[in-house]
Structure formats: C-alpha cells, structure tokens
Homo-oligomer: A and B are copies of this chain.
C-alpha cells in the first residue's frame, strides 16, 4: 500500500500520516520526491485497513501495490535515487558516473596506498578493497580484518576517496559501518536475509551485489529487505551470473541495467572484473556497461596482479585502468554523463601523499 501526498502537503501532514500508519501497527516509509512525497506502508500481512488514512489532510490517494517489491519500485518513487557523500561531488545515481576501484583484497598498507594513489589519479572517486574476504576455501587468505579497514580509512584521509568494502556478517558489518562510507554485501550473501536486515538498520549506504543465480525479482527483493528496515540508500551491482559459458568466469548480464532502471529508482553499477574474470575483457565490458546506461563501475586494480592474494587474473594493471578511464569517459560523454578527468582528483586532494612517502611507510 502506498499513500501519495498532495503536491503541497506540509511536512507536518506527512508526519501525521506516518504516525497514523505506525499507530495502526504498520511501518511507514516516507519517500520525498521532487513534486510530492509518497509514503510506503510495510509490515502488513495481507491488506492494510486504510479507511481513515484516505481522509487525512494532505493525502491525495491510496494506491495498492501489486508487485512483490514496494520501496524499491518506481511506483513509490519516480525520480532516480541519488546517493551523495558529504565533502565530495561524487554520487551514485547522479549525472556523474561513480567509479569504484582498488584491489580485490587489502594485502598490506603499502600495496593499498600504491594502488589507491594510482586509481585516484585516474579519476576514481571511490576506493574498494576487501578486509573481509568470502573465499571458497577456508584455507585461502581471508583478509586483514580491522587492520584492513584502518588502512582504508587512512586512504580516505590521504586521497579524499570514499571507501567501499564488504561486510560478511553482523560483526564485520559493525566495523565496516564505522570505518567505511559504503557497506558492500557480496553476491554470496545476496540472500543472507539476516545480514540484509542488519545493513538496513545502518546509516551508511549499501552496495548490494547480484547473486550468481539471482533473478531480477530476487535481486530487487534483496534490496527491499534493506529498505524495509529504513535504509533507503541502496546501490545495486551487476557482477555476472552463472551459466554454461566457459570463456568467462561469469556471464555479465548487461540487460539487467535497463531492466532495473525501468522498475526501480535505485542506482545500478557494473563490476566487469568479477563479471568476466579475465583482465583482457574488463575494458571492453566497462565501455559496454556505461553504454548500456549503468551509473558507474566497480573495477579491480592491482599494481602487481601476478602476486595478488586473490583474483589476480581479473585485476587490471594501473596503466590499463588509466586507459579504461579514458575510454569510459568518452562513452559517458555520448550519454551526457561525466567522469572526472585524469589528474583532476589528485590535484583536489589536499593531503595527497607522494609516491616516495607511500613506498616507505616506516617514515610515518
């Protein structure tokens, strides 16, 4: 059920309707739009007894939502959701594209800083790096944990990039929301509903990766889990699905981008690194992702891919990432979207470390 408020309804009227909904035992989700506010109602088994709501001041109409997802739907919020970050012009869902780049895993302070400097200079506004790694084998490198988070916090200070990193359970989520700017939920946890609910109670935006065999509806319902708890800042991420095809590690399903945009107001980015699993496919598929209309990219970069502790095969060399950014920038231009120019971001970062400083961390 959805309560659509009149164009000029006051904030007080919106609050009153929300309170009434809560009094009826449901949950109210106010979604302000450019013209009017809609209020989603969840928490109901079956139909909402909505008699009195319809007549409250400021209410225009009540709409029954028949789709299984509500808060993610364009029915509830017609304008694109734009996720902003204080102190930066970078957004997810805005006119500018979001570029998230960095190594698969934070392996050491030195490694992280070297890669960070390079992707920052190339124009990435977000730094990614795993501190908690969901690995197929219990005997593989599982990440540096909180130490990795601290390194990334230092990178934010040094380069001004915002930090995106994965949480794999409630414990790591509590730390990730403390240190990072965006909480990533990985593909393997897309239907870890307990974790989704916990992320829904966080104040930080959530980047939700599509599961390996998730349908579009399941993907949107996973976002609905996060939103139903009150966190409306969800970024979707296509990262390839599992098929019979064996020339790539996964099959990148770019058609899901326009499909999501048709149904939902949430931003969606593409991860061509996991989506292909092969370094030489990352740049072509990045071009394609932007051309299809994605709101950004998530790319793995490593200065020494052959020595990477995870996913080296799919990590770009820094100079390949420079080239990727150049190509992507041109494609973005065709679609009326922008990507920061190479070098632009480094100049803007006041406390930028020089390469030699990074190389000798002992000097700090």
Q: Which residues of A contact B (CB under 8 A)?
A: 42-45, 68-70, 134-139, 141, 168-172, 188-189, 191-195, 197, 212-213, 215-218, 221, 224-225, 228, 241-248, 251-259, 262, 275-276, 280-281, 284-285, 287-293, 327, 330-331, 333-335
Within 8 Å CB of A138, what residues of B?
42, 193, 197, 221, 224-225, 228
10 more CB-based (< 8 A) A-B contacts, given A188-B191, A247-B256, A255-B284:
A45-B141, A139-B228, A169-B170, A213-B242, A241-B251, A258-B285, A287-B292, A287-B293, A288-B289, A291-B331
Could you list 20 examples of A-B contacts with CB < 8 Å?
A42-B138, A70-B139, A134-B193, A138-B193, A138-B225, A169-B170, A169-B192, A169-B194, A170-B170, A172-B194, A188-B191, A188-B193, A189-B192, A192-B195, A213-B244, A245-B256, A247-B255, A254-B285, A254-B288, A284-B292
Contact in complex: B215, A245 (CB < 8 Å): yes
Are A193 and B215 interface neighbours, CB within 8 A? Answer: no
- Indicate if the CB atoms of A169 and B141 lie closer than 8 Å: no
Residues of B within 8 A of A195 (CB): 169, 192
Name the residue on B nearest A330 (C-beta): B334
Tell me if A224 and B137 are in contact (CB < 8 A). yes
**Beta-carbon nearest neighbor of A334 in chain B:** B330
**Chain B residues, CB < 8 A from A225:** 138
Q: Of B134, B218, B256, which contacts A191 at CB under 8 A? A: B134
Given contacts A135-B193, A136-B221, A243-B241, contact A255 B45 (CB under 8 A): no
- A139 and B44 contacting across the interface, CB-CB below 8 Å: yes
Q: Which of B141, B188, B244, B280 is A192 in contact with, Cβ under 8 Å? A: B188
